Amino acid sequence: MLVIDKYGSQPIYEQIIEGIERNILLGILKEGDAVPSVRELSVSLGINPNTIQKAYLELDRRGSIISCAGRGSFVREGAVISIKVRARGELDTLRETARRLKMAGVSLEELTKTIDDVYKEAEE
Amino acid sequence: MLVIDKYGSQPIYEQIIEGIERNILLGILKEGDAVPSVRELSVSLGINPNTIQKAYLELDRRGSIISCAGRGSFVREGAVISIKVRARGELDTLRETARRLKMAGVSLEELTKTIDDVYKEAEE
Amino acid sequence: MLVIDKYGSQPIYEQIIEGIERNILLGILKEGDAVPSVRELSVSLGINPNTIQKAYLELDRRGSIISCAGRGSFVREGAVISIKVRARGELDTLRETARRLKMAGVSLEELTKTIDDVYKEAEE
Amino acid sequence: MLVIDKYGSQPIYEQIIEGIERNILLGILKEGDAVPSVRELSVSLGINPNTIQKAYLELDRRGSIISCAGRGSFVREGAVISIKVRARGELDTLRETARRLKMAGVSLEELTKTIDDVYKEAEE
DNA sequence: GTGGTCTAGACCACA
DNA sequence: GTGGTCTAGACCACA
């Protein structure tokens, strides 16, 4: 369910956060569903439980999951919409990247083409 | 010529690298021009010379400038094209961001609009 | 594992880079192996951690090792071949030196003999 | 007569030293001949006179030229032989480079071929 | 624990 | 003056 690149530059805990949220957006994890326990993920991914814990804490803080001591963690009601709202913030990232590409002389057509292609890709 | 945010999350030396390359792209620094000396920038930006040095080392390695001990640093011939080529790599970043936005349900129209706006912005 | 001459003319960080790559070529450090941590080397060699850091940064950039904050540094898969490829560049150095020796009247026989001797030396 | 790379990594004063000695070895400058004055070289090469001066001082120290205040500098009698003797020291450099290439898996044949080629090159 | 960034300050060779 | 190297020491996020 989750693919982690242990040697990448993106922190592992961030990869976990994004991975869980991706699963929620894709409907693989539905609202109310149980999320794998910290221990479970730790073992299956071969990653330090503290790192998983850190990711879950952040997911909880964001309102994507809710963790109940002794019972486990669950996808929060309303998680999908809240994740989507936060994701819109990435429009700023897109804008920044586009600016840099513009300055490097990349044409608007090329950018538009790139984005079109992404939208034509099949959902994994 | 350079604006540095000392307290932002982006490392200072990276801001310097990008700032110098931006100036080269904008033609403010032309090929062959002398780049401000390490000490000069250090004083004018209020930043430790070691940090400037680190940025210049990377700029040299990238082929954007050439540093000669005892003489100074200069914009390398061919710097503009090499910076542009490297910048194209950001198309991957754009693609990634677009994928995330797509998954978050943002429409293709909205993305296209965002990019169009960037290309309509006046050059600073 | 590493022998450093602190007072030689070759910069310490370069000696570290070459020393680590030599260990990789000799198979003392195998692909995937953990490389000594910055602090570890710093202590064992009696060298400032910043200097080790500088060497590791370059080794990372070259693709010989991969450094992950919080986890450590590791010999990269494919490091051996990439080090070998880069080393071939020294053929140019050899050519240059040979030219100078030729100009100084040293005979081809003498050069050939010198090189033969090197290849007869036992591996350390 | 002299070609200087102002942006190379080799110090300018070293390039001058080697350039003058090459001219002596090639017989372009014969023993007893006047060497261009510091001022002359400074102007024709567009290089700071102090840098030329430094090179000439070293050439004098080595016994390749002899500088007489007010009269100029001349190729010393015996310069050719003394330059040749010193140049043999480069055999050590060759040995070191050969060792590194050997470790990188370059074959003895390839090295021998490289050197043969150099000896077949026409004198410039 | 790990690597990464930054400052302060010294010292060097080169131009 | 210039860039380059190095030390000492602090602080950070990440695992």
The one-letter amino acid code at B67 reads S
Q: Each residue of C81-99: pLDDT tens digit?
A: 999 999 999 999 999 999 9
The one-letter amino acid code at D24 reads I
Check pLDDT > 80 for residue A87: yes
Angle at C58 between CA C52 and CA C60, to 5 degrees: 100
Of the pLDDT bands very low, low, confident and very high (cuts 50, 70, 90), residue C77 is very high
* Portion of chain D with pLDDT greater than 70, in percent: 98
| CA proximity to A42, closest of A28, A54, A52, A29 | A52
Check pLDDT > 60 for residue D7: yes
Q: What is the pLDDT of residue D110?
A: 97
| Residue tagged 């003999």 (tokens) | C113
Sort out which chain C residues have CB atoms less than 8 A from A6's CB and list them: 68, 71
Task: Classify burial at C45, counting beta carbons within 10 Å of its beta carbon; exposed 0-12, middle 13-18, buried 19 or more.
Answer: buried
Nearest nt (C1') to A15 (CA)? Answer: F14
- Residue D34 C-alpha, separation from nearest chain C C-alpha, in angstroms: 22
Q: How many whole angstroms separate alpha carbon A8 and alpha carbon B46?
A: 33
- Say if CB D90 and CB C101 are below 8 A apart: yes
- Residue C23 C-alpha, separation from nearest chain D C-alpha, in angstroms: 11
Q: What is the pLDDT of residue C124?
A: 57
**Which structure tokens are listed for D46?**
């567009």
Q: How many whole angstroms separate alpha carbon D87 and alpha carbon C105?
A: 9
Q: Which helix (H) or strand (E) holds C43?
A: helix C38-45
Of the pLDDT bands very low, low, confident and very high (cuts 50, 70, 90), residue A122 is confident
Residue of least CA–C1' distance to E7: B48
* Portion of chain B with pLDDT greater than 70, in percent: 98
Q: Which helix (H) or strand (E) holds D33?
A: none
Average pLDDT, chain C: 96
Cβ of C70 near strand E (under 7 Å)? The reply is: yes
Q: Each residue of D8-29: pLDDT tens digit?
A: 999 999 999 999 999 999 999 9
Average pLDDT, chain D: 94
**Which structure tokens are listed for A46?**
């071969």
Sort out which chain D residues have CB atoms less than 8 A from B66's CB and list them: 7
The mean pLDDT value for C107-113 works out to: 96
Collapsing DSSP states into helix, strand and coil, what is residue C72? strand
Give Rg (Cα) of chain D: 17
- Say if CB B31 and CB B75 are below 8 A apart: yes
Collapsing DSSP states into helix, strand and coil, what is residue D35? strand
**Which structure tokens are listed for D109?**
């044949």
Contact A6 C74 (CB under 8 A): no
| Residue tagged 């040095």 (tokens) | B53
* Portion of chain A with pLDDT greater than 70, in percent: 98
Q: What is the pLDDT of residue A124?
A: 57
Q: Each residue of C3-14: pLDDT tens digit?
A: 999 999 999 999
* Portion of chain D with pLDDT greater than 90, in percent: 94
Q: Each residue of B87-97: pLDDT tens digit?
A: 999 999 999 99
The mean pLDDT value for B99-121 works out to: 95
Q: What is the pLDDT of residue B102?
A: 95
Q: How many whole angstroms separate alpha carbon B2 and alpha carbon A64?
A: 40
Collapsing DSSP states into helix, strand and coil, what is residue B38? helix
Check pLDDT > 80 for residue C123: no
Sort out which chain C residues have CB atoms less than 8 A from D97's CB and list them: 90, 93-94, 97
Which pairs with CB-CB distance under 8 Å and at least 24 residues apart come from D35-42? D35/D65, D35/D72, D35/D73, D35/D74, D35/D75, D36/D1, D37/D72, D37/D73, D38/D73, D41/D2, D41/D16
Q: What is the pLDDT of residue D122?
A: 82
**Which structure tokens are listed for D69?**
């205040």
Check pLDDT > 60 for residue C17: yes
Q: What is the pLDDT of residue C122?
A: 82
| CA proximity to A83, closest of A63, A109, A111 | A63
Average pLDDT, chain B: 96
Q: What is the pLDDT of residue B1?
A: 83
Cβ of D76 near strand E (under 7 Å)? The reply is: no
